[in-house]
Amino acid sequence: MTIQLSTPDFQHLTRIVQNLPDFANVRDRRRLVAGALQGVAQADVILGRLDLDGAPMGVAVEVVRFLAQFGRVAYDKEALAVFLNYIQPFTGDEDTDFIVELFQKYPLDIPASPNRGIDHWKGMDSTADIKEKIIGENTLRDIYILNLALEASKAVVRIATSDSLGTGFMIAPDLLMTNNHVIDSQEVAEKSDYSFNYQLDVNGKQCPSQTIGALAGGCFYTNEELDYTVVTLKDVPDFGKPLIFKSKSMRRDDRVAIIQHPGGHLKKISIQNNFVAYADNSVLQYTTSTAPGSSGSPVFDDDFQVVGIHHSGGMLLESNTQRRYLRNAGTSAIAVLKDLQANAPEIYTRLHR
């Protein structure tokens, strides 16, 4: 979303930016904006599009207007909010108070997933008698889903190629699925490492992991358009059961979860505040948190069955509205299964469905 500052607030904020100690010249301005956006995936895009050359007042107007219109750079952070949080320590007391007021007046820190309110209390008691209640989204879940998640996680694998890191998951006793942009050929597959059980145990200590390779000349299939690849592994350790694919039409606000190796690090799960934002028979878009290295992760429904394969994130186009939103996205299991059935039936018949 864009932030529509009132004219007085816009003018006040541009004066604050103009008078920042590090806003006197182009080099200092670039260092200031880069510092504010450190760790933001779209930092290079923003810096590339911002014109920081000119008189301080004019550039301040450009910076504030651009960041206010850019939208989210994280699921709960507007670009302008990230910048304001960074510059606040460099302002005086009066200006600091003004920035705090901006956060109170404008939706600078609102999560991308909508607030799913409970409209009416269904009980017989009055509100004065209610000691516990659902507030916003109902986050109460049956405890068994933790067991489902733990079982599913055993089939999730860390991938290290010669030049990248990714995630994959077992779809048959010796077949792994990941993204085409992680592994796009049999040659890359055979030069990559596949690590099982790369995670922490119940005591917070790293588990013993097992790293294996791909089977030379084994079954291999890839689809660049749908961004997925299937690889045959050799000497696969016991990992439990392959994940189950579900040809399921997802709907807006359905829950999803992703088990992944973000940044190539220890296995993690994103299970909170995760909702489908858009879905059709080819694409899933969702608010689930991921990071580089999460490519190729399974996207799960509430039963921890695979409804998609994660491949990317950013300001993504929603096809039915032709508008862009900050989301993560994957290929729908519907499209994957249809493609395998038509073009790789030897793999399709081995899937757990």
pLDDT band at 139; cut points 50, 70, 90: low
> Token digits for 331?
């290929």
Residue 74's pLDDT is 63
Residue pair 26/16 in contact by the 8 Å Cβ criterion: no
Q: Average the pLDDT over 80-93 and give the result.
A: 85
pLDDT over 80 at 267, yes or no? yes
Residue 113's pLDDT is 41
Residue 140's pLDDT is 66
pLDDT over 60 at 136, yes or no? no
| DSSP reduced 3-state for 329 | strand
Q: Which residue has the higher pLDDT, 235 or 107?
A: 235
pLDDT over 70 at 33, yes or no? yes
Q: Which residue has the higher pLDDT, 221 or 248?
A: 221
For tokens 């302002």, the residue is: 91
Do domains 144-232 and 257-348 share one topology? The answer is yes
Q: Please state, as a whole number, how many other Cβ atoms lie within 10 Å of the Cβ of residue 181.
A: 16
pLDDT over 70 at 329, yes or no? yes
Q: Average the pLDDT over 241-254 and give the result.
A: 89
Q: Which CATH superfamily is domain 257-348 in?
A: Trypsin-like serine proteases (2.40.10.10)
Q: Average the pLDDT over 264-276 and give the result.
A: 83
pLDDT band at 109; cut points 50, 70, 90: low
Q: Average the pLDDT over 319-334 and give the result.
A: 84
pLDDT over 50 at 112, yes or no? no
Residue 290's pLDDT is 61
**Which helix (H) or strand (E) is 82 found in, with range?**
helix 79-87
Ranked by mean pLDDT, the top range of 197-206, 226-235, 264-273 is: 226-235
Q: Which residue has the higher pLDDT, 144 or 168?
A: 168
Q: Average the pLDDT over 176-202 and give the result.
A: 94
Residue 3's pLDDT is 85
End-to-end C-alpha distance for the chain, whole angstroms: 39
pLDDT band at 125; cut points 50, 70, 90: very low
Given CA atoms 74, 77, 79, 82 in this order, what sign does their dihedral have? Answer: negative
Type of residue numbered 237: P
CA dist., res. 212 & res. 159, Å (int) = 10
pLDDT over 60 at 116, yes or no? no
The per-residue b/e assignment along 236-269, b for 16 or more CB within 10 angstroms, e otherwise, is: beebeebbbbbbbebeeebbbbbbbbbebeebbb
pLDDT over 50 at 129, yes or no? no
Residue 72's pLDDT is 79
Query: CATH: 3.40.50.10860, 2.40.100.10, 3.40.1050.10, 2.40.10.10. Which one for 144-232?
Result: 2.40.10.10
Residue 226's pLDDT is 95
Domain boundaries, the chain: 7-105, 144-232, 257-348
Residue 58's pLDDT is 92
Residue 115's pLDDT is 41
